[in-house]
């Protein structure tokens, strides 16, 4: 966990199918949905690079936008959350 980085991934993707593929990919890497288009979690630096490449292949960069925000320890310690509303749950969960 020493080399794991806290990242936030936010996106604005128009196509439902692509948006679903992106969110599933983020969950695959262990990120947790914070809001509808915002995920966060810890990820090894090596996996972050691979994830970024995979996301780049999924989206149309002329129409869609994905922000990958990595936080250092100092910034991570400054995160404040107000409220404890659970993240939205998908309508259909396939296990």
Cα torsion 2, 39, 15, 48 to 10°: value is: -10
Q: Are 70 and 48 in contact (CB under 8 A)?
A: yes
12 annotated among ligand-binding-site residues = yes
End-to-end alpha-carbon separation of the chain, Å?
A: 26
Q: How far is CA 51 from the centre of its chain?
A: 10
| Binding-site annotation, residues | 12
| Binding-site annotation, residues for Mg(2+) | 12
């Amino acid at each position: 966990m020493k080399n794991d980085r806290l990242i936030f991934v936010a996106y604005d993707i128009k196509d439902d199918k692509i948006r679903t593929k992106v969110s599933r990919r983020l969950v695959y890497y262990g990120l947790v949905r914070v809001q509808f288009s915002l995920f966060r979690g810890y990820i090894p630096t090596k996996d972050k690079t691979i994830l970024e490449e995979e996301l780049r292949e999924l989206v149309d960069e002329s129409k869609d936008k994905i922000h990958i925000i990595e936080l250092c320890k100092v910034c991570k310690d400054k995160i404040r959350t107000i409220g404890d509303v659970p993240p939205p749950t998908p309508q259909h969960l396939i296990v």
